[in-house]
Structure 1
Amino acid sequence: MHYLPIAGFIVGTFFGTATMQQPSLSALTAIVEQIARTGDPEAMMSTIVQRLCQLMHVDVCSLYLCTPDQEHLILAATEGLSREAVGKARLKLDEGLVGHIAASLSTLNLGDAPADDRFVFIPETHEMPYHRFLGVPLIHLRRLVGVLVVQGREREPFSQEVEAFLITIASQLAGSLHALQSRGDWYEQRPRSNRGVYRRHVGLKGAPGLGLGRLWLVKPHMSLDQVQPGINSDPVQERDELLAAISMVSDELESGSGHLGSHLPSDVHALFSVYQMMLHSPELTQQTLALIEAGDSAAWALRQTIEQMADQFHQSEDPYLRARGEDIANIGQRVLNQLLSRERPVIETPDEELVLAGELVSIADLADFPLQQIRGILCTQGSTLSHTAIVANALGIPAVMGLEQLEPEHHRGARVIVDGNRAEAVLNPPPPLLAEYKRMIAEEKRFMEGLEKLRDEPAVTQDGFRVTLLTNTGLLADATPGLQRGAEGVGLYRSEIPFMIHDSFPTEQEQFTLYQKVLKAYAPRPVTMRTLDIGGDKQLPYFDISESNPYLGWRGIRFTLDNAQLLISQVRAMLRANVDTDNLKLLVPMVGRVDEMQAFRQYVEKAVDSLLREGHQVKVPPIGMMIEVPSSMLLLSKLAPYIDYVSIGSNDLTQYLLAVDRNNPRVSALFDHLHPAVLVALEYILQQCKALSLPVSICGEMASDPAAVLVLTAMGYDCLSLSAYNIPRIKLLIRSINRDELLPVLEQARACNSEAEVRALLLPVLEQYGWGREPRPHLNDPDNAEAGYQ
């Protein structure tokens, strides 16, 4: 790592070197990221304090980290104090100057630290010669990570510029040090190898349930700009692999052109020819092959060639040619995908249960494995309401998201427990803990089997309030999960999922076959099919949409209206599939404007007219809209003439009301559908729908949350759409409660100021009906590390 030029760069600004230039925050961030990537925790922290001593020209730089229980601060690294004190010097969170910083979460800048009443002398540090003292707290996501301190021999405080610089450094370091601090590796001497070592990692709830299996690493997809320099050992093999990848991409383009030819405008269709010309251009092939011959790996050679070609387009003054730079980058990514797929090992049917682990496990990844052998999903990224979690919920697969501290590549083949109820991954559980989880899994299985007797029973409260329970589906054409668990229809068929696992836009006929199977499986029960809803965290592998803020961008009805040929093809397929069953309901996602529903209804009516002329006995089915965008909630009276029913998408409505990106780990903890603002919105929507005689239902994860179900039932919502796996549980809950008894609780909930208060209010009610806190293992000696639970 090259620190010295940047060191002078920063020192010049904050310490007055006249020849230095102003540093950017990105330069500062780059230093922190370089340091944070160090694999050895001890070396990482030593590097931090050494570099800061050099950057700031100070005598001492020390790093104190909080113990994971947030009770003590331990000297984790120092430059200038005695190294013998590292790991030994320990302070309570309100002890000494460092403890004061931790307790007050404020900066402290002193000219004579030993003279301060709060100063605590720790003999082993040998810090008596140092008087000036500056310390700042390290805070990440509102939690204290530690304290960063610099000291000097002078008897005057540090300057305001130095203080500002250290605060900036601390804000950057806190996130990098958070994972290390919360693990405890920096003071607990763990074995270097992770294999066979018992560990627990806490993440975010993805899907409930318990699973046990061997960890199977899902290889992450790589973008072209992530390719690192590499050399090859066999240029002939690399050459052949590149040419094979180019040939495969050519076949993909040819296939896509043929499938969509009749549905695309001529100018859009011509792009396939442009892509083919770029793909087979001599510059791309010859330059890449020349770099391979010179010793570069195929992927690295490809990246260099694509970047050079794209730069040539980007430098053009002609706007059209500049835009072609994006096309060549797209071609390069497609070729890279083929190169990587050739490296990916062929997945054979495993002989035992598996837990899939990776950054984000996609639908395509799930499709590679026999579904019955997937016992859990672990993701180092994502949140409770990422698409992976939603799919896991639909399939009844336990999932834990946002496991930032987990490094799956270091635990291949390890036995792992996925505790979706408590959002934990337990690696290499010792025998007592393993036996306890096996008991809980068996108990859960018996409980679910016991609920089968309720499959054909209605969800009616003790005082006669009837709730219709529908299922969410879309991953599988096979509709048996919902039917087996007593679904009264499909409340949300996610039509984008077949698009996501396809290698190109599916044709009208392919969609017709799929939709017909689902409609027939549920007939005469209703099936609500949502039109294509991509964007946000739902991307198509063959249609890249790159936006700075995708959740506020080109998604849902906005995308399909701008790509009317895709919308018409899909609507035609749905209408044709409905001819024999007459149980289709159309649902439009992400509606935010009246003209969007006007345009959609016009397209449906045109499709009906066209199909009738072709001899298909179709008709206009009920048309509904999703309330996800807050503006649609406020426009209900204006939208009512164009819709027959309403479906509330609780996930996105909550996200937009609270301005919280549910996939961002930094703020996902603020996402809760029991937030008072969400509850106010839900009551308002229900009142409006009743006044307009519009049937209304709720879909999303809120319909699977027992606490939320109590509130929704009390409000008067009588239709919920949820994952098939959760239907029996929610049916049992509804059949156990008395709605009249919930009305006073709802009144109290209206007075709550936060979602935490709402949940605290509802917990005793849940316990009254036998729905207490999440289950956890019960061991005779839970504090014994050997017993496996701490």
Structure 2
Amino acid sequence: MLSLLRRITQEVTAAQTLPSALDIIVRRVRRAMRSEVCSIYLVDPNTEEYVLMATRGLNSGGAGKLSLKAHEGLVSLVGRRAEPVNLEDAHAHPSFHYLSGSGEERYKSFLGVPIIHHRQILGVLVVQHEDKRRFDEGEEAFLITLSAQLAGVIAHAEATGAMTTLDNTEKPTSQDFRYKGIAGSQGVAIGKGMVVYPPADLDVIPDRKTQEIESELSSFSDALKAVRKDIRRASSRLSQHLSEDEKALFDVYLKILDDNALAAEVEHRIKEGNWAQGALRQVVQFHISHFNRMEDPYLRERATDIRDLGRRILSHLQETAPSPTETFKEPVILIGEELTASMLGEVPIDKVIGLVSVMGSSNSHVAILARAMGIPTVMGALDVPYTQLDKVDMIVDGYSGQIFTNPSDHLTENYQQIVDEERQLETEFEALKDLPCETKDGKRLSLFVNTGLSADIARSLDRGAEGIGLYRTEVPFMVRDRFPTEAEQEVIYRQQLEGFAPAPVTVRTLDVGGDKALPYFPIKEENPFLGWRGIRVTLDHLEIFMAQIRAMIKASAGLHNLKIMLPMISNVSEVEEAIVLIQRAYDEVLEEGYDVKMPKVGVMIEVPAAVYQVKELAALVDFMSVGSNDLTQYLLAVDRNNPRVADLYHSFHPAVLRALQSIVTEAKDEHVTLSVCGEMAGDPMGAILFMAMGYDVLSMSSTSLPKVKAVIRHITMEQAENMLSEVLNLSRASAVKKTMEGLMRDANIERFVRPAKSSSMNQ
């Protein structure tokens, strides 16, 4: 069964259009189950009707024309119940409804299974027989398994089928195609898409229209010549070690590259208007799919040869491709399967107005970076056909997590109004830069920034930051190919400490592991977020920890504004051990003649164990900072970087809010400063609740700071406390957010969170 499932899935994945994908499914399933009928009904999102989209056995002329209403017939019953319906005599069931014109009147037995993708019913897969008989458990299990396998493929095919073709003469037949992701960074971007991808990876190469046909043909021809030369050289080098049969493999490679074989197909697609890299990907994927479907194991292995040759050609094509700086001439919306911080570092960031990542969540590092830079971003857009969005007109709605392609003039005008409102708000925020963050009745709240780059200093001070609440030391570690020396670290930390002096600068000790890896210090684990990370790593490597602490303390000489923060604390003993080492480092630096003072030491509260040890930890340290990103992740057992469960990651989950309140209650009499340095602190809604709970300091990206200050300055402490009391006992995250939105609207501060037009469009 597994091999059959794999072959069907591979065939469907390789299909060029949604109708052809559906036809493959009904044809292959009918044959595999020896059923007389196999049909697929898909839900029309506009009418919610179940439309017969493909069939073998019923009247094929009804495909795309015949439909059942949302509460009509056995097909809709399967959809409403979201589980299989298996009937010996379908006609006898009260929900049976004859679909006129389908020719199904003679079929008695019925088995329908739902096609579900991310909790959404996409449609129903049905098999039928003339005889009265119940499909057995094995048949039902096969259809359920196949449906689960194909749901994502169908969802993606639906999205892909909506896109424009490569033919420049064709125009989109309709507009405003909408895809849903996760809001990563607030704001709206209107512009053309540009697909970015890691090098030498065929699967992520986008389709890209080109007018330079001859140039692309020439580039492809040069790449082919280079690969042929590589293969002949390899054959010659290894000839004395191989038998004649083994040497023949290189001849096979050369034949595949022959002008009348793979090369001719690529050239044909280039002439149709695709650039060389996209044409190569299409041809290689087609041949790989073809070989994978073959029964013979030897022939199936030839797919590996095709992929290897494709990568070799691609590598040569990319060597001669223009650099990103040459490519980015106009502002663009960057799109990729999985955008990373390093990808952003390779492009001129002043040309990037929006980001879309198929993978990742709102708490992925690229989303955090996007918020820091104020770039509207949508993450986890799993169904977006990203390879076909190059140079396509798009709108990225970072408020609601929506993406629109080929937007209509009307939709573009509406979103342009939002952009205009955002610019107006920015002007208002500039006037607040030098004003304190305090409520209308005088409650003062300190606003610090999270940073990791020296370039952030000027931006943060320009937006009124009162200090650094979190300096991520892993950033300078990640941009090197080795551990930075103590002297190099001292220079880096000194920049931050001098830039903000005399304001406090909280420097976190090295926090690697989990989703943060150093290329020269790889940590490979089955469960990295529950493994060797944060303080666990540095206490195991004293040479790293001590060099870093000494560098921090030396950098504070004469400034005395350093605070040291320990990440991933889950035991009191970790803090005790770290404090002893910090004292030792301080004594060593003092002996070297530096003018330093013992820095204040604090811990991050980001795992549940620390929440329940607040009193004991507070007795050891000077301050505590809640890392709300990881605390939420660990409390809810949700990987914050996994788009499949991203909708379960709720910063305003009742359990999270109660844990946050509990920390304040437990630390109340312990004389420690309490702060929050997670992304939740930069959300004005979260900032109100944190202030009401009793937190002293909020640390956020510099982009979020003006919004938070504007909101706090427009309410009273009493209003904030009333809002907290309204939501603290609610049982659902959705209820918390909805209630807060209403309360903020009543307080006339909602416009600072999102423009009025955006609010009305997403209600």
**TM exceeds 0.5?**
yes
Is the contact between residue 68 and residue 99 of structure 2 (CA under 8 Å) also seen in structure 1? no
What are the residue-to-residue correspondences of 1:408-427 with 2, within 5 Å? 408-427=386-405
In the other structure, the counterpart of 1:362 is 340
Q: Per-residue CA shift, 1:418-440, capped at 9, x if unaligned?
A: 22122223334444544444443
In the other structure, the counterpart of 1:517 is 495
Query: Which SS does the other structure have where 2:533 is aligned?
Result: coil
Aligned residue type for 2:694: G
What are the residue-to-residue correspondences of 1:380-529 with 2, within 5 Å? 380-529=358-507
Query: Which SS does the other structure have where 2:492 is aligned?
Result: helix
Is the contact between residue 220 and residue 358 of structure 1 (CA under 8 Å) also seen in structure 2? no
Between the aligned partners of 1:223 and 1:607, the Cα distance in structure 2 is 47
**Residues 771-780 or 495-504, more deviating:** 771-780
What are the residue-to-residue correspondences of 1:215-230 with 2, within 5 Å? 215-220=193-198
In the other structure, the counterpart of 2:524 is 546
In the other structure, the counterpart of 1:124 is 101
In the other structure, the counterpart of 1:741 is 719
Between the aligned partners of 1:628 and 1:724, the Cα distance in structure 2 is 22
Residues 1:135 and 2:127 are matched in the alignment: no
Between the aligned partners of 1:595 and 1:131, the Cα distance in structure 2 is 70
Q: Per-residue CA shift, 1:403-448, capped at 9, x if unaligned?
A: 2222333232334332212222333444454444444323312211
Query: Which residue of 738, 753, 761 corresponds with 1:760?
Result: 738
In the other structure, the counterpart of 2:122 is 145
For the structure 1 residues 448 and 196, does the alpha-carbon distance in structure 2 shift closer, same or farther, using more than 3 Å as the test?
A: farther
Aligned residue type for 1:593: N
Question: What TM-score results when the alignment is normalised by the length of structure 1?
Answer: 0.79
Query: Which SS does the other structure have where 1:61 is aligned?
Result: strand
Residues 1:44 and 2:21 are matched in the alignment: yes
In the other structure, the counterpart of 2:632 is 654
Is the contact between residue 191 and residue 395 of structure 2 (CA under 8 Å) also seen in structure 1? yes
Residues 1:35 and 2:27 are matched in the alignment: no
In the other structure, the counterpart of 1:79 is 56
For the structure 1 residues 294 and 617, does the alpha-carbon distance in structure 2 shift closer, same or farther, using more than 3 Å as the test?
A: farther
Between the aligned partners of 2:522 and 2:171, the Cα distance in structure 1 is 41
Q: Per-residue CA shift, 1:32-71, capped at 9, x if unaligned?
A: 3553343321111111111111221111111111122472
For the structure 1 residues 28 and 588, does the alpha-carbon distance in structure 2 shift closer, same or farther, using more than 3 Å as the test?
A: farther
1:83 CA displacement? 1.1
Is the contact between residue 136 and residue 167 of structure 1 (CA under 8 Å) also seen in structure 2? yes
Q: Per-residue CA shift, 1:234-273, capped at 9, x if unaligned?
A: 258648999xxxxxxxxxxxxxxxxxxxxxxxxxxxxxxx
Q: Per-residue CA shift, 1:175-212, capped at 9, x if unaligned?
A: 3323345x4x66x7975759874543321101011233
1:401 CA displacement? 0.6
Q: Per-residue CA shift, 1:689-730, capped at 9, x if unaligned?
A: 212222110111211222222322222223111111111111
In the other structure, the counterpart of 1:624 is 602
What are the residue-to-residue correspondences of 1:533-612 with 2, within 5 Å? 533-612=511-590
Aligned residue type for 2:65: K
Between the aligned partners of 2:652 and 2:199, the Cα distance in structure 1 is 35
Between the aligned partners of 2:104 and 2:163, the Cα distance in structure 1 is 26
Aligned residue type for 2:226: D
Between the aligned partners of 1:463 and 1:220, the Cα distance in structure 2 is 53
**Residues 716-725 or 439-448, more deviating:** 439-448
In the other structure, the counterpart of 2:226 is 234
Is the contact between residue 478 and residue 518 of structure 1 (CA under 8 Å) also seen in structure 2? no
What are the residue-to-residue correspondences of 1:40-119 with 2, within 5 Å? 40-69=17-46, 71-119=48-96
Is the contact between residue 684 and residue 708 of structure 2 (CA under 8 Å) also seen in structure 1? yes
**Residues 167-176 or 26-35, more deviating:** 26-35
1:375 CA displacement? 1.2
For the structure 1 residues 428 and 119, does the alpha-carbon distance in structure 2 shift closer, same or farther, using more than 3 Å as the test?
A: closer
Query: Which residue of 138, 145, 148 corresponds with 1:161?
Result: 138
Cα RMSD of the aligned pairs, angstroms, is 3.5
1:389 CA displacement? 0.5
Between the aligned partners of 2:203 and 2:759, the Cα distance in structure 1 is 49
Between the aligned partners of 2:448 and 2:232, the Cα distance in structure 1 is 52
Q: Per-residue CA shift, 1:722-750, capped at 9, x if unaligned?
A: 11111111111111112213334322323
Between the aligned partners of 2:18 and 2:656, the Cα distance in structure 1 is 43
Between the aligned partners of 1:778 and 1:469, the Cα distance in structure 2 is 27
Aligned residue type for 1:124: G
Query: Which SS does the other structure have where 2:712 is aligned?
Result: helix
1:681 CA displacement? 0.4
For the structure 1 residues 340 and 379, does the alpha-carbon distance in structure 2 shift closer, same or farther, using more than 3 Å as the test?
A: farther
Aligned residue type for 1:639: L
Q: Per-residue CA shift, 1:122-156, capped at 9, x if unaligned?
A: 22211122111111122222221211111011112
Between the aligned partners of 1:453 and 1:760, the Cα distance in structure 2 is 30
Between the aligned partners of 2:318 and 2:512, the Cα distance in structure 1 is 24
Query: Which SS does the other structure have where 2:494 is aligned?
Result: helix
Between the aligned partners of 1:120 and 1:557, the Cα distance in structure 2 is 64
Is the contact between residue 217 and residue 409 of structure 1 (CA under 8 Å) also seen in structure 2? yes
Between the aligned partners of 1:642 and 1:336, the Cα distance in structure 2 is 60
Is the contact between residue 78 and residue 124 of structure 2 (CA under 8 Å) also seen in structure 1? yes
**Residues 726-735 or 457-466, more deviating:** 457-466
Query: Which SS does the other structure have where 1:724 is aligned?
Result: coil
Q: Per-residue CA shift, 1:373-424, capped at 9, x if unaligned?
A: 2211111111111111111111111111112222333232334332212222
Between the aligned partners of 1:475 and 1:290, the Cα distance in structure 2 is 53
Query: Which SS does the other structure have where 1:491 is aligned?
Result: strand
Between the aligned partners of 1:628 and 1:722, the Cα distance in structure 2 is 16
Aligned residue type for 1:385: N
Between the aligned partners of 1:735 and 1:191, the Cα distance in structure 2 is 51
Is the contact between residue 235 and residue 295 of structure 1 (CA under 8 Å) also seen in structure 2? no
Between the aligned partners of 1:429 and 1:107, the Cα distance in structure 2 is 38
Query: Which SS does the other structure have where 1:53 is aligned?
Result: helix
Number of matched pairs: 677
In the other structure, the counterpart of 2:299 is none
Please list every run of 5 or more consecutive structure 1 residues that lacks an aligned counterpart in the other structure: 1-9, 11-22, 243-281, 301-334, 783-788
Query: Which SS does the other structure have where 1:714 is aligned?
Result: helix
1:668 CA displacement? 0.8
Is the contact between residue 216 and residue 355 of structure 1 (CA under 8 Å) also seen in structure 2? yes
Counting aligned pairs with the same residue, the percent is: 38
In the other structure, the counterpart of 1:306 is none
Is the contact between residue 469 and residue 720 of structure 1 (CA under 8 Å) also seen in structure 2? yes
Is the contact between residue 235 and residue 293 of structure 1 (CA under 8 Å) also seen in structure 2? no
Q: Per-residue CA shift, 1:605-657, capped at 9, x if unaligned?
A: 23223333433333431111111111111122332343211100001101100
In the other structure, the counterpart of 2:305 is none
Question: What TM-score results when the alignment is normalised by the length of structure 2?
Answer: 0.81
Is the contact between residue 450 and residue 468 of structure 2 (CA under 8 Å) also seen in structure 1? yes
Query: Which SS does the other structure have where 2:703 is aligned?
Result: helix
Aligned residue type for 1:108: V
Q: Per-residue CA shift, 1:551-576, capped at 9, x if unaligned?
A: 11222112222333222232222222
For the structure 1 residues 567 and 415, does the alpha-carbon distance in structure 2 shift closer, same or farther, using more than 3 Å as the test?
A: farther
Residues 1:726 and 2:704 are matched in the alignment: yes
1:222 CA displacement? 6.4
For the structure 1 residues 340 and 459, does the alpha-carbon distance in structure 2 shift closer, same or farther, using more than 3 Å as the test?
A: farther
Query: Which SS does the other structure have where 1:447 is aligned?
Result: helix
